[in-house]
Amino acid sequence: MRIMAFDYGTKRIGVAVTDPLQIIATGLDTVHPKDIVDYLKKYIAQNPVERFVVGEPKQMDNTASQSAPHVRGFVTILKKNFPEIPVEMMDERFTSKMASAAILQSGAKKSDRQNKALVDTVSATIILQSWMDSRLF
């Protein structure tokens, strides 16, 4: 079964997923928040998902950021629509900056580096990889 991670935003949700053996985190898609439940129902019907990991927005002092209420609402939607799939939170500080740096290092064109959907998908991948790494230690 796969693990799926989300970088939640009010305009876009970056989605990443593991392979079935849970070894590799890969960016999957960017989905509008109003479409996420239908998207997940279709995806899960084809690919069983064991767990959701949601990026938790925090300030530098470890307090909740301004977007935290939106993320909590998203987690509530996940739990309501997919009660059999546990949801875990993962600190997402710096993931957008890390995603932009990774895209830049990949040699992407300037237009790709400015593509916010790509940044959101890479951010979700970083969240998922960080969660996977945290289980190893």
Predicted TM-score (pTM) of the model is: 0.81
Write down the pLDDT at residue 48.
96
The candidate with the shortest Cα–Cα distance to 57, out of 49, 69, 75, is 69
pLDDT bin (cut points 50, 70, 90) of residue 109 is: low
pLDDT tens for 68-82 read: 889 999 999 999 999
Write down the pLDDT at residue 63.
72
Domains of the chain: which residue ranges?
2-134
Q: Where are the alpha helices (DSSP H) in 1-137?
A: 36-46, 68-81, 95-105, 110-113, 116-134
3.40.50.620, 2.60.40.10, 3.40.50.300, 3.30.420.140: CATH of 2-134: 3.30.420.140
Measured distance CA(65)–CA(135) in Å, rounded: 25
